[in-house]
Structure 1
């Protein structure tokens, strides 16, 4: 038992000792957490459990029951979440119903709110850039979704840069309109970006800060009233971020925040009928919601993501490092994680696989470069491996065994970074294809090899795959993946704030992080045609001429005394 506890205890000790070197030198929250915070990441434990509440109609509230979250490193109850039951959803439904279809703001109504959100974003970007605040969120992410500090800090960095990108006037620029001349004098058409009004956001566990915050701010920028549901296992991160935003001037009534199980949230959506719902998560739930919500949904669901290495062998050390990062960073729990690697036969003698094996085996639980898998158990991953090994010619390249000396609870997975080789000819067989391309949301990938004349077969395999989220690929014209990296430095897990990230080939596909993504997901097009007729047009031109004459008179007068009289004088026809 003591051996079993060693790695998990070491990981917790690592988190706490690392934290103590910067932000958390003593355990007093009031002294060593940011002013907005209600927790200290290093102190959260079974003896000092944290508490997460719901936000509705501007007030933080508890509920009739609490959902205890287990520590993914040792299985102890360490966070209690106010769990909204199906009988308690009415305040949330009422809150969404209060928001009109035309939103909280739009180009004609309360346009000053575009400026307000530019100011809020500026302040939030400044606060999140402070080392102690950035470290606070990185440590909090590590506690609930264990990943290396570099990965957690990278998530905070991308989030902070996103906020910088949409500071100041950038929010109002998202609502930029256009006009087109009409058919006759007095007619003109104008296109506007229009909010949906009441909307819902549902996000997963693997990026507790980046995904929910970027989608939430996009919804708010365009004038919507969102209700936000984050996976309860990690929702403490966004609860703390909402408190930061409130300290920056975010009106508390603008966002509702709910913790509940899937049934309660589904009932809320059915009763509140939000005009649009953004869902990031599993394909199975995504398809159910698409039916339940009658298509009023945008999806960023799971991806079986692929990488193709062409015939030119170069930079083997770098390529092996990128493959390791793409497949096993965050223990493979990225929707963009490398699921399958197609390597040209020229790479077989390059030492690529041995280098990947070496890098994978360096990962350890103590520094969270490998860690708990929060949605797939060890048993189910091993069962999947056994099924794949029944395919003729398949073999285990490395991994394939549970982590050792840990205290990760059985409800989660604990697997060493794993790679299996499956021959391309076997992958393409109908009886094997679905099994080989089944996404395992953990530290697992398929590797195969192709000859030069087999590239069309590789592309056919990519065409047959269901999810088209990310790819690293040499052939662009024959693929549809939404986020595609091409070239020697290509990767599958690039999701920074400076380019679109999301699937393609599906009209329901959602993007994140860019002006194009925000406008696509969180606004619709509204066309307003002005047709005032020639007579009114002449009148308007006269009014414009009068204003122009007044401005000229004003510029010619040295004193202000006669300006009112001069401007009120009639214009001769």
Structure 2
């Protein structure tokens, strides 16, 4: 059976086969740019489907972990080639299913290809070190061994890149995988997993189970056969994942929310800062954990920066991400659409001034979850819109007396994922690098950029203090084994 059955029903993938859920329930995947269009139907699985997937992954791990890591890497090279061949289709599916513009979706899918090739090459790199023993007739060294079965729980905002940057290192280091994607992007996830299927991975090495987090996600958290859980999503759910994993002694990795600031110094290139603020804050409709949310500007250039920002935002087009002239797509679903509106109302009620936008767009055909980008000023650091993650196209402008004051306000958050500063002053750069409490800091670049070969993760409530991507990934997906050999 293929990934797609009749009437656009997308199936689970368990033990090398495309199968219906045990309860035969499905859920619609709706196009947020056309709420009357059904992209497909995805399985609403039961705990028993997770049990089947974990059992298959457990059995497959016996032979997969004994395979040489270069051989495992060869499989990832094949997946990369197949994903690249299907880039256009998968990118269009992503745009139709979660709303980001087609150029963004193509870029994300291409990044998935690059991630696969990066980790495929990891199969040829070292996995340990030789350590001098105190015994002259002995040899001591370290190696790394896989955890076993990895539960991968991923969000809807990067439905190709995030699953792949978790799955690829998990597999190359010898683990097997059970993937639970967000319901909103179950069709995209199925098409990604189909690339692994076409590459000929052994049965059970990768498994896909779709369904609600309260059922499928919870069973992954609780299942004794799952040795490690990697999660990206909200901090509220992430904490529940961590607590559940800790209760039974499973390893876990959490990447959660952000309330990411950009600091604009008086000596900054303001045009560059404006473009980066807009790109970092409003692309993907602000639905990124690394999206710019707070814009902290030195008072001396505040008015000039504000006028440039508003002028540029007024030129942005909102609509269906498949159209060539559209810069920003819709919110992913009705729940997110209403959530963004509620935060805009909270900002107004708290006394912030809505300078621009923030209204639902109702005159587009077809009907979708479209909203204007919103810009606030007169924002105090203690306001809800300055403290809580909105996950939408909302920017909060905040005045700062100087760089020291700006840094103090930037750190006034329970989150610490990413941050950026625009300045030409070396001293300000160093103060920011040393003083900013965030896992990713960028100088004269938007807050939302992250490179696949570099460690990624946050501080404070943004993460479990682990890191993803780059060589840092092996720290989660493997355990160190120390070996002592006596002659």
Pairwise same-fold verdict (TM > 0.5):
yes
Shift of 1:96: 4.4
SS at match of 2:364: coil
8 Å contact 1:99–1:197 — kept in the other structure?
A: no
Please report how far the alpha carbon of residue 433 of structure 1 lies from its aligned counterpart in structure 2 after TM superposition.
4.4
Unpaired runs of 5+ residues, structure 1, are 1-35, 538-573
Partner of 1:148: 101
Q: Is 1:75–1:407's contact at 8 Å kept on the other side of the alignment?
A: no
Q: Could you say if the C-alpha distance between residues 264 and 96 of structure 1 is closer, same or farther in structure 2, counting changes exceeding 3 Å?
A: farther
C-alpha displacement of 1:299? 0.6
Shift of 1:493: 0.9
In the other structure, the counterpart of 1:84 is: 45
Q: Does 1:386 align with 2:345?
A: yes
Larger CA deviation: 241-250 vs 151-160: 241-250
1:298-350 Cα offsets, whole Å, 9 max, x none, are 01111111111122132x32221111111110111111110101111232243
CA contact (8 A) 2:318 2:330 kept: no
Q: For the residues of structure 1 that align with 2:220 and 2:438, how far apart are their CA atoms?
A: 33
The answer (yes or no) to whether the contact 2:8–2:41 under 8 Å persists in 1 is yes
Distance 1:417 1:333 in 2: 12
Q: Is the Cα contact below 8 Å between 2:53 and 2:204 reproduced in 1? A: no
Q: Residue 212 of structure 1: CA displacement?
A: 0.3
TM-score (norm 1): 0.75
1:446 to 375, 396, 400: 396
Instruction: Tell me by how many angstroms 1:68 deviates.
Output: 1.8
Show the 5 A alignment for 1:244-255.
Answer: 244-255=195-206
Kept in 2, the 8 Å contact 1:54–1:61? The answer is yes
Q: 1:437 aligns with which of 371, 384, 387?
A: 387
Describe the SS at the equivalent of 2:354. Answer: strand
Q: Distance in 2 between matches of 1:225 and 1:37?
A: 21
CA distance in 2, matches of 1:250, 1:105: 10
User: How do residues 352-501 of structure 1 correspond to structure 2 at under 5 angstroms?
Assistant: 352-361=305-314, 362-366=316-320, 367=323, 368-374=326-332, 376-392=335-351, 394-406=352-364, 413-423=369-379, 426-427=380-381, 432-452=382-402, 455-473=403-421, 474=429, 475-486=432-443, 488=444, 490-501=445-456
SS at match of 1:166: helix
Match of 1:570 in 2: none
Counterpart-to-counterpart distance in 1, 2:46 and 2:213: 10
Q: Which residue in 2 is equivalent to 1:275?
A: 227
* Deviation, structure 1 residue 448: 0.8
For residues 503-524 of structure 1, the C-alpha deviation after alignment (integer angstroms, 9 at most, x for no partner) is 13577234333122x2122112
Question: Which residue of structure 2 aligns with residue 123 of structure 1?
Answer: 78
Where does residue 156 of structure 2 map in the other structure?
205
CA apart distance, 1:83: 1.6
- Could you tell me which of 509, 512, 515 is aligned with 2:468? 512
Shift of 1:105: 4.9
Please name the residue that 2:30 is paired with: 70
1:484-515 CA distances to partner (integer Å, 9 max, x unpaired)?
Answer: 112x3x21110232323221357723433312
- Please give the alpha-carbon distance, in whole angstroms, between the structure 2 residues aligned to 1:348 and 1:363: 25
Rounded to whole Å, the distance in 1 between the matches of 2:14 and 2:106 is: 30
Report what 2:142 is aligned to. 191
Shift of 1:267: 2.6
Identify the residue that residue 566 of structure 1 maps to in structure 2: none
Deviation, 1:273, is 4.5
| Contact preservation (8 Å) 2:347, 2:383 | no
Write out aligned runs for 1:158-197 (5 A).
Answer: 158-167=111-120, 169-173=121-125, 175-197=126-148
Q: In structure 2, list runs of 5 or more residues that go unmatched.
A: 422-428
What does residue range 188-337 of structure 1 map to in structure 2 within 5 Å? Answer: 188-265=139-216, 266-294=218-246, 296-314=251-269, 316-337=270-291
* Cα distance in 2 for residues equivalent to 1:125 and 1:245: 9
2:55 corresponding residue in structure 1: 94
CA distance 1:310–1:161, change in 2 (3 Å): same
Label 1:327 to 1:104 Cα distance change in 2 as closer, same or farther (>3 A): farther
The alpha carbon displacement at 1:218 in A equals 0.9
Alpha-carbon contact 1:282-1:301 (below 8 Å) kept: yes
User: Once superposed, what is the RMSD of the aligned Cα atoms?
Assistant: 2.6
Deviation of the 1:38 alpha carbon: 5.9
CA distance in 1, matches of 2:115, 2:124: 16
Contact 1:328 1:360 survives alignment (8 Å): no
SS in 2 for 1:55: strand
Q: In terms of Rg, which structure is larger?
A: 1
Structure 1 residues 435 and 273, CA gap change in structure 2 (3 angstroms): farther
Aligned partner of residue 266 in structure 2, secondary structure = coil
1:522 to 470, 477, 485: 477
Contact 1:200–1:227 (CA under 8 A) maintained in structure 2:
yes
C-alpha contact 1:195 1:522 (8 A) present in aligned 2: yes
Against the structure 1 CA distance between its residues 142 and 345, is the aligned structure 2 distance closer, same or farther, given a 3 Å change threshold?
A: same
Give 1:272 shift. 3.5
Equivalents in 1 of 2:337, 2:84: separation in Å? Answer: 38
Whole-angstrom CA distance in 1 between matches of 2:43 and 2:393: 32
Contact 2:419/2:440, CA 8 A, preserved across alignment? yes
Shift of 1:111: 4.1
CA deviation after TM superposition for structure 1 residue 529, in Å: 2.1
